[in-house]
Amino acid sequence: MKPLKHIQSSFVPLPVENIDTDQIIPARFLKSTSREGFGKNLFRDWRYFNNDEAQPKTDFVLNKPEYKGSILVAGKNFGSGSSREHAAWAILDYGFYAVVSSFFADIFKNNALNNGVVPVQVSEDFLDKIFNLENGSTLSIDIENQSITIDATGESEKFDINNYKKTCLMNGYDDIDYLLNIKEDIINFEKAIEGLK
């Protein structure tokens, strides 16, 4: 995982609520045995007619060249449904390092954090403000201070992330590194449980 401390970027707005992981990446694209290459199928069925890259749905935001940036901003309850981590891989592979929404599904939130994509949960009001910004406006996400700022106006909001995960994101550590380091504790735990029997 690459360390991630600060993101300043324009954003791609997707003001749709309840975006489930089947929309983010449909199941028929989960056949790969590697983590790479899912970005081209991100929002596949919202992007193309008849699953055909030659027939883009021109009104979909990812097909509008004027919308770009490394932050995706989406309606509330983002990432519901399937536990497929492929959803987080697709978002990262496409080039997003943060998703901003007013509510996230639990499993998606974990999956995103485990891949260095930061889920930034903001209030409904703040989300509306972002959606109302002119295209090309930039947002700044400061992981250490847990804040997101609309650069043009200076309006800012804090977001939640626990200290452990913050440290992981900022240093590029992952949970497996942590768990491998406490293997002794885990073995002792197993012995204690065995002893109880």
Site of interaction with another protein (CB under 8 A): 15-18, 20, 22-23, 26-28, 30-35, 45, 51, 75-77, 80-86, 88, 103, 105-107, 110-111, 114-115, 162-165, 174-176, 178-180, 182-183, 185-186, 189-190, 193
Comparison of 9 and 78: residue with beta carbon closer to another protein: 78
Comparison of 49 and 136: residue with beta carbon closer to another protein: 49
- Alpha-carbon span 112 to 95, nearest angstrom: 13
The pairing of beta strand 138-142 with beta strand 6-14: antiparallel
Q: How far is the CB of 117 from another protein (least distance, A)?
A: 12
Q: How far is the CB of 186 from another protein (least distance, A)?
A: 6
Our CA dihedral for 54, 58, 60, 62, rounded to 10 degrees, sits at 60
Q: How far is the CB of 31 from another protein (least distance, A)?
A: 4
Q: How far is the CB of 149 from another protein (least distance, A)?
A: 24
DSSP assignment letter at 80: B
- Alpha-carbon span 11 to 163, nearest angstrom: 26
Comparison of 16 and 152: residue with beta carbon closer to another protein: 16
Cα–chain center distance at 141? 13
Comparison of 105 and 133: residue with beta carbon closer to another protein: 105
List the end-to-end C-alpha distance of the chain, in Å, as a whole number. 40
- Alpha-carbon span 189 to 13, nearest angstrom: 47
Comparison of 68 and 76: residue with beta carbon closer to another protein: 76
Q: How far is the CB of 10 from another protein (least distance, A)?
A: 23
The pairing of beta strand 71-74 with beta strand 6-14: parallel
- Give backbone dihedrals phi and psi of 73, rounded to 5 degrees, phi first: -115, 120
Q: How far is the CB of 131 from another protein (least distance, A)?
A: 10
Token output for 146: 């847990």
Comparison of 28 and 136: residue with beta carbon closer to another protein: 28
